[in-house]
Amino acid sequence: MPRRNDIESILIIGSGPIVIGQAAEFDYSGTQACRALRDEGYKVILVNSNPATIMTDPEVADVTYVEPLTLETVAEIIRRERPDALLPTLGGQTALNLSIELDEAGVLDEYDVELLGASIESIQKAEDRQLFHEAMDRIGLKVPESRTVKNLEQAEELAAKIGYPLIIRPSFTLGGKGGSVAHDHTELKRSVLGGLDASPVKSVLVEKSVAGWKEFELEVMRDLSDNVVIVCSIENVDPMGVHTGDSITVAPAQTLSDRQYQTLRSASIRIIREIGVQTGGSNIQFAVDPEGEGFYVIEMNPRVSRSSALASKATGFPIAKIAAKLAVGYSLDEIPNDITRATPASFEPALDYIVTKIPRFTFEKFPGTAPTLTTRMHSVGEVMAIGRTFTESLLKAIGSLELDPQDITPRLDEPNPYRIFAVFEALRAGMDIPEIFAKTQIDPFFIASIARIVAGEGSLSGAWSREDLLEAKKLGLSDENLAATSGTTTEVVRGVRRALGIFPTYKSVDTCAGEFPAQTPYYYSTYETEDEVERGENPSVVVLGSGPNRIGQGIEFDYACVHASYALIEGGYDAVMVNSNPETVSTDYDTSTRLYFEPLTAEHVLEVVRREKPEGVILQFGGQSPLKLARELEEEGVNILGTSPDAIDLAEDRSRFGRLLTDLDIPHPRYGIASTGAEVSEVAHDLGYPVVVRPSYVLGGRRMEIVYNDDDLDLYIRSSISTSPDHPTLVDEFMEDYVEVDVDAVCDGEDVYIGGIMEHVEEAGVHSGDSSCVTPPITIHRALLERIEDYTRRLAFGVGVVGLMNIQFVVRGEDVMVIECNPRASRTVPFISKATGVPLAKVATKVLYGEKLRDMDLAGSTEGHFSVKAPVFPFDRFADVDPLLGPEMRSTGEAMGIDRTFGGAFAKALTAAGQTLPESGRVYISVANRDKRAVVLIARAFADLGFEISASEGTADVLTNNGLPVTVVPKIGELGEDVLAAIESGGVDLIVNTPWGRGARTDGYLIRRQALTHGVPCITTLAGATAAIQGIESKIRGGIQRVNPLQALYTAKA
């Protein structure tokens, strides 16, 4: 069927800020879809509140709204843009749910917007467990016995009937949020009550558990002509019971015979037809009996998903792009396969390699939560690796994880993030395969493969022959692995390997196992006889990506890398991307001239460099992962473009940097460097409390704390990693009550371009990634801003920055001090680029290949609008964690709000971050003693805005003394409705709670957890409260501008 000509404009909804369960994969799919639809000549209207996405770049869609993903906002966009159609299947669960809301609210009918891809009916059939179960019954497929319940009694009845273990899944939630397994009545009670709370429709599915069964996923595509293809099969190494997002997975399926596989394939086709997904991709999950023919259908996602992004990267079949084309009428056979160009998309990719995905966790940032994996997703990112054998692909994937050995705490007995390492250890200790299987239910195929690795580790001894070393490399062992098992250094292994002439070859991902010539250069390394890279004569530049998403290093860095590739291609270079993260736009084979899907380790990067012979390597865009390779690459003679490794070191080494600041006459907080625990406390006493303590060279404020007294410092010294001359601890004077300011700038060695200045909403002490910020600044005098700009220039030249840099300042009164300088892309680069219309990373890339700032048109401005960035936290997934802001970063993503006023922009950003400010109702205030004075005006402002005020006893006293009408809420545990009960009963619409004291289980902690559970916005700083008042005021007084596209914002300025 040909392209539809009866529609002209299409609305695409993105997935909003990065949260656990919904990450960069939807930027990848959304960007592909926008491009595909524009290529077809449709007008694409996009809405997404996440500025760190490529899809929200103004060139990607015709009209781009960086606005909150709420019913009201999107309805307003529809009113304004009158799209002919809405494509709801590319923005994850967020877009799907929002589309249902738009339908239910009558918006789609009112404005005659056609839903493409999937009808409301089919979405509901797939999403509503009961309807899904009925649908599966109709086509004779089994689902685990289950029932949707609305209360505990119903769950108990079912448990009595079908027995334990049971899985409890709340309806309509992200990433299996709220899902858990119950083995007895106590667990059932907790799970069901928690699940009812988590479900927006207050129902949970109680289901027979098939924990321990094998788990498979199939990625299915269907077109309007009812052609169906299976793009990829995926086998989970971790059996049922672990959320698939948290499982190690392998593509294609490894342990099914043809008959067993075809049974699942045929079932998938029946399922997509029965559910009625008309066009596009779906993901179907199966549980397969490890001991017989039986299998269950677990669930179906009627949209592109994390797994479909993985399947696209694993096969070279661009699911989202094809899905977009199918949605506008094409059939699969009318769409060419990009990679072969000679064959149509109506086929099933054949792989001649093995793909392994391993999730990346950050439990270490949430002490108090046991690192145990369940049906609820906890990982924040993932890596993918490609190898010719499972062992090679597994080892490459493990190498891509960039784990800190200190965080690895493997346990074999229950699912946990490091269980794969426990399997290695058990085998090394001599445990046999059946025993490990009995403990883990991991299929013996995988355990036996790991046993081969373990055997291989031990086989190299004495003088290495070429044959032995080659075997080890074919197995997938890295130089680093070999160095560790043979007690030498990586450099020695590398030297021996080179001397023996052992180098990897690069093979293509071509969708067809070599049957047809591939046109798209998408490569992976392996030790074989033939290399397929078609290098050509054009000069190339290698861009190192940012590896797995994790807290502190997220999609923002991938955004910068993608821009680097675009700028290189614009400049006439072959852009060569090296990255290991399957979720991202950077690993789309379309983004760069050549893509090497490889771990970001020195070994793999050096080999790519050896193969490519590039003009240079760019490592300042990918965050710490590439940056930490700088020295080693330089020593190996690699030309690093931009800021030199020595300059990077100058900025990162506290002593060198301190001396530089003194030389440049730039004020900075006092600091000290301690090599022993005793020195830490000595330095702290010298500086005077409070101090900031942290290990040197950390990412995302890892193990960084603000310490107010000796007791806390002792605790820090004892609980944190040991301090040594090699791993010193940095102690800084803490600049209490200062305002923090971030600057992103580009330097070409002759000029400095200030990309933007951002003022933090929260006071200094909150990690810059976790604080809200606004640009342009709102409370800083012009003279101070000029001084900030002056210091930025001095530092840029002083450090020797060429390319991007980020500087953090603190400001109070007349003081401006520098606290940190990072000569690399920062997390705020995409935000600033969106706020000003100047794509900073692209500008920086051009500088790296020799263009001068003075020759560029850098007419960005923030005139007429304020932009606010608000972080999003995963606290709701980590039980028993205090949702407080601090120096250790814990946010997973951010949302952006743009408006004419700061208040409006702040309110929009908070709404987009899921913390919608109320416009009326009751605010509960409970603050620390140090904040009692300042809270009075805040409370009065709330009262003036029409809020009823309730407060804890102490805070209430102060407010009453100041003439404010206040209801006193009893302390937790006292008679009457205490604050926890009030939150639960809906009697609190907003909470202002500043922390005091330390440790878990304080009242403040319980209040914050309760707020989180019930979705009540909770503000934990007075600065945040002040900003919230401005936001609420904007909302009430109608000060918020209606929706406004980015394109209009930039045109307005020009």
**Active-site annotation, residues:** 129, 169, 202, 215, 243, 283, 285, 299, 301, 303, 694, 700-701, 740, 808, 820, 822, 827
- In the list 53, 94, 346, 1010, the residue contacting another protein (rule: CB under 8 A) is 346
Provide the 10 A C-beta neighbour count for residue 473. 21
Please identify, among the stretches 55-63, 526-534, 905-913, 1024-1032, the one whose residues bind another protein according to the rule CB under 8 A: 526-534
- In the list 9, 119, 154, 225, the residue contacting another protein (rule: CB under 8 A) is 225
Q: Which is nearer to another protein, 445 or 697 (CB)?
A: 445
Sheet (strand 691-695) strand order? 671-674, 729-733, 691-695, 705-707
Is the Cβ–Cβ distance between 191 and 182 less than 8 Å? yes
Q: Which is nearer to another protein, 296 or 849 (CB)?
A: 296
Q: Which is nearer to another protein, 354 or 377 (CB)?
A: 354
254 counts as binding another protein under rule CB under 8 A: yes
- For the chain, how far is it from start to end, CA to CA, in angstroms? 43
- Total binding residues toward another protein, as defined by CB under 8 A: 62
In this structure, what are the phi and psi dihedrals at residue 888, rounded to the nearest 5 degrees? Answer: -95, 125
- In the list 139, 201, 455, 513, the residue contacting another protein (rule: CB under 8 A) is 513
Would you state the structure tokens that stand for residue 536, as one six-digit string? 């050509």
Is the Cβ–Cβ distance between 794 and 816 less than 8 Å? no
CB of 644 to another protein, least distance (A): 40
* 718-777 binders of another protein (CB under 8 A): none
- In the list 351, 575, 802, 847, the residue contacting another protein (rule: CB under 8 A) is 351
Would you state the structure tokens that stand for residue 478, as one six-digit string? 């890295």
Provide the 10 A C-beta neighbour count for residue 1048. 13
- In the list 243, 388, 787, 865, the residue contacting another protein (rule: CB under 8 A) is 388
Which H or E run contains 34?
helix 25-39
Would you state the structure tokens that stand for residue 539, as one six-digit string? 């000069």
Sign of the torsion angle spanned by Cα atoms 1025, 1026, 1027, 1031: positive
Q: Which is nearer to another protein, 44 or 264 (CB)?
A: 264
Tell me the longest C-alpha to C-alpha distance in the chain: 86
Q: Which is nearer to another protein, 291 or 814 (CB)?
A: 291
The CA distances from residue 1054 to 45, 225, 753, 859, 900, in Å, are: 22, 47, 18, 8, 17
528 counts as binding another protein under rule CB under 8 A: yes
Sign of the torsion angle spanned by Cα atoms 580, 585, 588, 590: negative
Using DSSP, state whether 659 is helix, strand or coil. Answer: helix
Closest CA to 997 of 989, 1007, 1005, 985: 1005
CB of 426 to another protein, least distance (A): 16
Closest CA to 877 of 983, 700, 1012: 1012
Please identify, among the stretches 263-271, 612-620, 705-713, 790-798, the one whose residues bind another protein according to the rule CB under 8 A: 263-271
Within 403-534, strands assigned E span 505-508, 522-526
261 counts as binding another protein under rule CB under 8 A: yes
Q: Which is nearer to another protein, 101 or 348 (CB)?
A: 348
Would you put residue 853 in left (φ > 0), alpha (ψ -120 to 50) or beta?
alpha
Is the Cβ–Cβ distance between 178 and 170 less than 8 Å? yes
Would you state the structure tokens that stand for residue 733, as one six-digit string? 């004077």
Write the binding mask 69 to 108 for another protein: x where contact by CB under 8 A, - elsewhere. Answer: ----------------------------------------
- The number of angstroms, rounded, from the C-alpha of 813 to the middle of its chain's C-alpha atoms is 37
Please identify, among the stretches 219-227, 612-620, 695-703, 726-734, the one whose residues bind another protein according to the rule CB under 8 A: 219-227
DSSP state letter for 303? S
CB of 613 to another protein, least distance (A): 23
Closest CA to 86 of 104, 73, 99, 97: 99
262 counts as binding another protein under rule CB under 8 A: yes
292 counts as binding another protein under rule CB under 8 A: yes
Q: Which is nearer to another protein, 475 or 731 (CB)?
A: 475
Please identify, among the stretches 186-194, 506-514, 747-755, 1037-1045, the one whose residues bind another protein according to the rule CB under 8 A: 506-514
Q: Which is nearer to another protein, 467 or 814 (CB)?
A: 467
State the angle between helix axes of 129-138 and 258-275 in degrees (0 to 180), rounded to the nearest 10.
120
* 311-340 binders of another protein (CB under 8 A): 331-333
Q: Which is nearer to another protein, 292 or 572 (CB)?
A: 292
CB of 234 to another protein, least distance (A): 13
* 22-61 binders of another protein (CB under 8 A): none
Q: Which is nearer to another protein, 24 or 394 (CB)?
A: 394
CB of 369 to another protein, least distance (A): 34
Would you put residue 430 in left (φ > 0), alpha (ψ -120 to 50) or beta?
left
- In the list 140, 160, 291, 725, the residue contacting another protein (rule: CB under 8 A) is 291
DSSP state letter for 976? S
CB of 260 to another protein, least distance (A): 8
Is the Cβ–Cβ distance between 56 and 45 less than 8 Å? no
Which H or E run contains 566?
helix 555-570
* 529-588 binders of another protein (CB under 8 A): 529-530, 532
* 983-1012 binders of another protein (CB under 8 A): none
Would you state the structure tokens that stand for residue 885, as one six-digit string? 């802001």
Please identify, among the stretches 383-391, 394-402, 563-571, 832-840, the one whose residues bind another protein according to the rule CB under 8 A: 383-391
- In the list 63, 113, 204, 253, the residue contacting another protein (rule: CB under 8 A) is 253
Is the Cβ–Cβ distance between 169 and 146 less than 8 Å? no
Rounded CA separation 137/143 (Å) = 8
352 counts as binding another protein under rule CB under 8 A: yes
CB of 596 to another protein, least distance (A): 17
Strand-pair partners of 525: 506
Provide the 10 A C-beta neighbour count for residue 949. 20
Strand-pair partners of 249: 236, 357
Rounded CA separation 958/689 (Å) = 28
CB of 305 to another protein, least distance (A): 22
Rounded CA separation 364/702 (Å) = 9
CB of 414 to another protein, least distance (A): 22
CB of 427 to another protein, least distance (A): 12
- In the list 35, 396, 507, 1035, the residue contacting another protein (rule: CB under 8 A) is 507
Write the binding mask 430 to 469 for another protein: x where contact by CB under 8 A, - elsewhere. Answer: ---x---------xxx--xx-x---------------x--
Q: Which is nearer to another protein, 395 or 739 (CB)?
A: 395
Contacts of 574 (CB under 8 A, 6+ apart): 536, 538, 539, 540, 541, 568, 593, 594
Rounded CA separation 1046/1054 (Å) = 13
255 counts as binding another protein under rule CB under 8 A: yes
CB of 455 to another protein, least distance (A): 11
Provide the 10 A C-beta neighbour count for residue 413. 9
Q: Which is nearer to another protein, 516 or 689 (CB)?
A: 516
- In the list 111, 164, 172, 347, the residue contacting another protein (rule: CB under 8 A) is 347
CB of 222 to another protein, least distance (A): 11
Q: Which is nearer to another protein, 269 or 403 (CB)?
A: 269
- In the list 6, 258, 413, 665, the residue contacting another protein (rule: CB under 8 A) is 258
Q: For binding to another protein (CB under 8 A), which residues are involved?
A: 225-227, 229-230, 252-262, 265-266, 269, 289-292, 331-333, 342-344, 346-354, 388-390, 433, 443-445, 448-449, 451, 467, 470-471, 507, 512-517, 528-530, 532
